[in-house]
């Protein structure tokens, strides 16, 4: 099998994505995917003496549970949760629908791509292909948790019901988690304004990483921090997610735990907490043999929300480390450049 002569046309216009490339069964991927040696993931940098905590949420009200969440947000910026209240069947149905979606013939995906308003549904490949010099080995579907009317009109039928069911459960969990995290910042409760700034917009992403013949030389998702307030990530049992270790140099593997969700603090909550909570760098690697999927919910501020350190965290006389920024400006900045570690935060730093 040979590679398509016009790669971007094949990937984007014809909506084959990397799934289409992978299906060609080529022995080597196009050069555009090959990372320079210094940017490649180095297995020698994976440490096993650290791991992110797994927190059991069966007893939400238990002060020990709350304490573990605060500590995880401060120390790790990442934790897994079990007994989170989302039924296993809802999770399994969602994962199956992600596979079904990407297994649709390219012309059906093309039809969806061309007939969906981009503020509701966006099918894409890599991260920001126009801004990247090296492409990422990933296709994704971006589903905005918009009004019921828009969801009904535009979310693809093949995954609509499963996605909506998952989001309805996840929304309850997200509100609870944010309320706990706010308590750790001396905020009594999430009023309407805070809700607008923390969870005013939510996006459900389906990440699809097909098998890659050059798995060691490509990136699934390069090192980055999320710009969300928090991200709720469901990963399958293949594994591929690595989080920056506390030494700032090595990486920690996030092992798939059956039925668990991975929670991470995003830039918005690092900014609002004036660096008390950490938005930690992470990346996803791909593998040779299997398709891996992951399903993040990016819990974002509403586009017009103004983000800055909360008055409650500055009460004790702390100097603000960030200025006030409009979230839509931050969002645009993030997508205007390739994945680049934690550099995005600099946009808001004083
Ligand atoms: O695939 C993963 O495990 C992580 C994906 C991720 O970090 C992202 O989509 O922001
Ligand atoms: Fe991420």
Q: Could you report the per-residue pLDDT of 211-245, keeping only the tens digit for each?
A: 999 999 999 999 999 999 999 999 999 999 999 99
CA of 209 to the centre of ligand 1 (A): 10
Residue nearest atom 7 of ligand 1, based on CA coordinates: 283
Give the predicted TM-score (pTM) of the model.
0.96
CA of 106 to the centre of ligand 2 (A): 26
pLDDT of residue 204: 98
pLDDT of residue 228: 96
Does 339 have pLDDT greater than 90?
Answer: no
Residue to probe by mutation, ligand 1, list 296, 297, 300, most atoms within 8 Å of CB:
296
pLDDT of residue 208: 98
CA of 193 to the centre of ligand 2 (A): 26
pLDDT of residue 129: 67
Atom of ligand 1 nearest to the CA of 226: 10
Is 151 a domain residue? yes
Helix, strand, coil distribution of the chain in percent, nearest 5: 35, 20, 45
Confidence grade of residue 110 (pLDDT, cut at 50, 70, 90) = very high
Enumerate residues lining ligand 1, CB below 6 A: 205, 207, 221, 226, 233, 235, 240-241, 282, 284, 294, 296
CA of 18 to the centre of ligand 2 (A): 19
Domain of residue 161, residue span: 33-347
Q: Report which DSSP code applies to 337.
A: S
Atom of ligand 1 nearest to the CA of 138: 1
Give the β-pairing of 292-300 and 230-235: antiparallel
Burial grade of 2 (CB within 10 A; 0-12, 13-18, 19 or more): exposed
Is 333 a domain residue? yes
From the CA of 205, the nearest ligand is: 1
pLDDT of residue 1: 66
From the CA of 137, the nearest ligand is: 1
- Report, as an integer, the average pLDDT of 295-312: 96
Is 100 a domain residue? yes
Is 215 a domain residue? yes
Share of the chain above pLDDT 70, in %: 99
Is-contact 218 336, C-beta < 8 A? no
If we measure between CA atoms, which residue out of 125, 138, 334 comes closest to residue 221?
138
Atom of ligand 1 nearest to the CA of 283: 7
pLDDT of residue 128: 72
CATH number for the domain that contains residue 259? 2.60.120.330
Question: How much is the ipTM here?
Answer: 0.99
What's the structural domain count of the chain?
Answer: 1
Is 24 a domain residue? no
pLDDT of residue 48: 92
Is 138 a domain residue? yes
Is 332 a domain residue? yes
- DSSP reduced 3-state for 251: strand
Is 14 a domain residue? no
Q: For 47-70, what is each residue's pLDDT tens digit?
A: 999 999 999 999 988 999 999 999
Please state at what angle helix 63-75 crosses helix 160-183, rounded to 10 degrees. 90
CA of 282 to the centre of ligand 2 (A): 6
CA of 226 to the centre of ligand 2 (A): 5
Q: In terms of pLDDT, which residue wins out, 315 or 145?
A: 145
CA of 224 to the centre of ligand 2 (A): 6
CA of 265 to the centre of ligand 1 (A): 13
Does 299 have pLDDT greater than 70?
Answer: yes
pLDDT of residue 336: 83
**Average pLDDT for the chain:** 94
Does 342 have pLDDT greater than 80?
Answer: no
Residue nearest atom 9 of ligand 1, based on CA coordinates: 296
- Report, as an integer, the average pLDDT of 134-156: 96
In total, the chain counts a number of residues equal to 350
From the CA of 142, the nearest ligand is: 1
- For 26-48, give one letter per residue: b (16+ CB within 10 A) or e: eeebeeebbbeeeeebeeeeeee
Residue to probe by mutation, ligand 1, list 282, 341, 344, most atoms within 8 Å of CB:
282
Is-contact 89 161, C-beta < 8 A? no
């Amino acid at each position: 099998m040979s590679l398509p002569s016009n790669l971007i046309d094949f990937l984007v216009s014809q909506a084959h994505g990397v799934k289409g490339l992978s299906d060609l069964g080529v022995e080597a991927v196009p050069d555009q995917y090959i990372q320079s040696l210094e940017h490649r993931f180095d297995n020698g940098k994976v440490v096993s003496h650290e791991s992110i905590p797994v927190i059991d949420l069966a007893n939400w009200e238990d002060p020990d549970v709350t304490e573990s969440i605060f500590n995880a947000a401060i120390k790790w910026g990442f934790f897994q949760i079990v007994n989170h209240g989302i039924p296993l069947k809802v999770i399994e149905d969602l994962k199956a629908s992600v596979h079904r979606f990407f297994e649709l013939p390219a012309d059906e995906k093309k039809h969806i791509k061309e007939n969906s308003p981009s503020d509701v549904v966006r099918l894409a490949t890599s991260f920001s292909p126009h801004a990247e010099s090296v492409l990422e080995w990933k296709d994704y579907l971006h589903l905005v948790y918009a009004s019921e009317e828009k969801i009904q009109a535009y979310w693809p039928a093949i995954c609509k019901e499963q996605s909506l069911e998952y989001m309805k459960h996840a929304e309850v969990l997200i509100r609870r988690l944010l309320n706990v995290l706010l308590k750790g910042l001396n905020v009594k409760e999430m009023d309407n304004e805070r809700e607008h700034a923390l969870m005013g917009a939510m996006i459900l992403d389906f990440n699809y990483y097909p098998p890659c013949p050059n798995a060691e030389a490509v990136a699934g998702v390069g090192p980055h921090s999320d710009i969300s307030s928090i991200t709720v990530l469901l990963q399958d049992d293949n594994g591929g997610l690595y989080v920056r270790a506390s030494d700032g140099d090595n990486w920690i593997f996030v092992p798939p735990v059956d039925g668990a969700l991975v929670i991470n603090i995003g830039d918005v909550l690092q900014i609002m907490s004036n660096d008390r909570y950490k938005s930690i760098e992470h990346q996803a690697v791909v593998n040779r043999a299997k398709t891996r999927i992951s399903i993040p919910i990016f819990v974002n501020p509403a586009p017009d929300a103004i983000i800055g350190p909360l008055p409650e965290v500055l009460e004790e006389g702390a100097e603000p480390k960030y200025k006030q920024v409009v979230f839509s400006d931050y969002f645009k900045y993030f997508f205007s450049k390739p994945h680049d570690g934690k550099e995005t935060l600099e946009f808001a730093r004083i």
